[in-house]
Structure 1
């Protein structure tokens, strides 16, 4: 077995663990443990940490190089760790921070050893397996469909909750949509898995996930059109178009029940806006550095909110949770890193995009933005955060390689000209 094959297998294993397809969970009201019990999670975590420790020892110089090329991601992680000094929930903070470190190391490894196109194939494998298993278990085993009265009949797949299934299937639909429009080999399989993912979103009744899919579809012809315009117009139209589509997506999420005739509080923003008002008032109590990573919701400051909104264990908004945890200082570091990543994805479309799969990095950022308006998925050890950090670091490495190639080419031309004269 070649070294490249071994590295590929390790990368696939790490992505499978991160995507949650190796821990098959029934609906949460039935059991919080996966098949085989919590020992399965523990074993997979131990194996993944050992793999990352091994890889970081082998490639420690390269790991450090990636860190220095994108210091904003490292700075944000450092702020998280430093915030433990004033967190009132040190135990949970340390647990989730450990997960963030693992995600950061996985992202560095993927950015270092694999291109965006290779990563996209790994992601497709993991999400395709998750979609197939979710369809199988929910179809043939009732424990994988919600029984709770307020969620009855909504599919959970292998992820334990209907929102988790919908959120993962939004990612799955996106990757197979772009691959189905780009590849020739196994195109039929890409479209089948895309269709399965859409069906699972509908069966989970996840409004946010459906909104994400519709937004991605609407953006595809927009990106194609931009390829035919000049650079300045591209930048202006991309920025305006993204803002309009995000506003449209939020409006759709807020009124989707009226549009499609569904019912149930879990599908709307009902209750969240009142919660957000209370959260914002708490943000202003500690505006600069927050309450520490995962330090608010189990603190005395959150008591009134927890009593008033008994269903809330977070802000149901990733941006507000980030402000609570790290204050405006941490939020601005995140925003700077995110904008840098966004500009790199837009530049990539302008200069390099040839197929719809090349639009996938910017589509990933759009998924992250829309999702975090109704879910707290920023700066958590989740698939969402892995995709963001991996994209940011991979684009940075791609830029460095292209820059080095241009420098080498220019040097070669200079040398040739020197000898010719």
Structure 2
């Protein structure tokens, strides 16, 4: 392949993934630093620029997929389950309370998904990790500079006073990005000894961002990353029941700890009252009651948490307007019903099993990426909504990981160096 075209395509991919993190909206400049303040739709001048980026990125990636039609199709059918959820998001306009909105955002989810397909079909997992190191390095440095230059916007007030949110609307969004960046830099640092010094600096910057967000969930995930490392490496041993059982115990314990920390953090201010009256348990209970009202198909993709939607009674009882259920496993039934939740759990299960197979088939640290990403995706959905979002790096990477591990077992296409 032409080296110039290869260079351009690589940096197109880097820019596209940076865009999908959401950092280029610089949202904290236009959103109140108090998460529970009355929200107003402030004009964001960067939205029109980001819309142009969005249309360009998806148009170019679609053209690149069509240009490599056979390879793209071969990769796309590697896990057909992964396509069911975005397709369901699109057709949910048929039962949505806001059909136009559900259709528009559902189409954007399809576009996000086929960008993940492009990433999987164009680059091997080793190359994906190298690209992701650039992406999360750029995002981390920009976030740190933003925190230094715009402290008034970068630091939260109210319930989370003093926590850094950087250029994002809320501290947990920055923490989520930083945790994923930390995983990427850890695996790269262990897998590429010649670049270890620079990669450990990237690891350190992301660790610093996690600490200044004061996110307990992010710290727990950091601990999980370190604890699971030797156990995931041990999956390459000869068949033994001990390692899978140990991993299961760690993940389940971590899940329980995430739930406790998520609610305990906000319940400390409720001393003397029933802890269930503060934190997220009340929000979850109210959301589950709404799921019972429309259990199978939900309220339509992103049709619940908006003015005039089913969330009105929840907002009234909570006293502020949470944008989602703060739990992906509760939020997806609101959007796509229990059918959508079942499809997602099936996708996650298949992806995890294949990630184990991919890890066992390799000999380097780099093969840890798929299983680490699926674990990250599963764990973070206990406190945030990370399952299926349009223009989201998290969903695009799940599509990429799901398709890349299957592709590895069947074909190793010729790819240029990154």
For the aligned pair, the TM-score class normalised by the smaller chain equals 0.7 to 0.9
- Say whether the 8 Å CA contact 1:19–1:127 is kept in structure 2: no
- How far, CA to CA, are the matches of 2:74 and 2:349 in structure 1? 22
- Specify the alignment match of 1:284 in structure 2: 292
- Specify the alignment match of 1:199 in structure 2: 208
Deviation at 1:80, TM superposition (A): 1.4
Per-residue CA distance 1:122-153 (angstroms, 9 max, x = gap)? 11111111111111121233244235333333
- Say whether the 8 Å CA contact 2:259–2:383 is kept in structure 1: no
Verify: 1:29 aligned to 2:32, yes or no.
Answer: yes
Structure 1-normalised TM-score? 0.85
Residue range with higher mean Cα deviation, 287-296 or 223-232: 223-232
- Say whether the 8 Å CA contact 1:208–1:370 is kept in structure 2: no
- Specify the alignment match of 2:104 in structure 1: 95
Verify: 1:43 aligned to 2:45, yes or no.
Answer: no
- How far, CA to CA, are the matches of 1:300 and 1:144 in structure 2? 30
- Specify the alignment match of 2:355 in structure 1: 345
Verify: 1:328 aligned to 2:338, yes or no.
Answer: yes
Per-residue CA distance 1:80-139 (angstroms, 9 max, x = gap)? 111110100223323322321221111111111111111111111111111111111212
Give 1:8-87 correspondences, 5 Å limit: 8-27=10-29, 28-29=31-32, 37-87=46-96
The change in CA–CA distance for 1:143 and 1:300 in structure 2 (over 3 A counts) is closer
Q: State which structure, 1 or 2, has the greater radius of gyration over its C-alpha atoms.
A: 1
Per-residue CA distance 1:147-206 (angstroms, 9 max, x = gap)? 533333322223243221111111111111222222212211111111111111111112
- Specify the alignment match of 1:181 in structure 2: 190
Q: Which sections of structure 1, spanning at least 5 residues, go unmatched?
A: 405-421
**Superposition RMSD on alpha carbons, in Å?**
2.8
The one of 209, 225, 241 aligned to 2:234: 225
Per-residue CA distance 1:49-84 (angstroms, 9 max, x = gap)? 221232233133433333333211112222111111
Moved over 6 A (4+): 262-265
- Say whether the 8 Å CA contact 2:172–2:215 is kept in structure 1: yes
The one of 153, 156, 162 aligned to 1:153: 162
- Say whether the 8 Å CA contact 1:177–1:191 is kept in structure 2: yes
Give the number of equivalent residue pairs.
396
The one of 304, 311, 319 aligned to 1:296: 304
The change in CA–CA distance for 1:95 and 1:146 in structure 2 (over 3 A counts) is farther
The one of 262, 265, 280 aligned to 1:272: 280
- Say whether the 8 Å CA contact 1:353–1:359 is kept in structure 2: no
- Say whether the 8 Å CA contact 1:19–1:126 is kept in structure 2: no
- How far, CA to CA, are the matches of 2:78 and 2:360 in structure 1? 22
- How far, CA to CA, are the matches of 1:353 and 1:374 in structure 2? 34
Structure 2-normalised TM-score? 0.86
- Specify the alignment match of 1:116 in structure 2: 125
- How far, CA to CA, are the matches of 1:94 and 1:147 in structure 2? 34
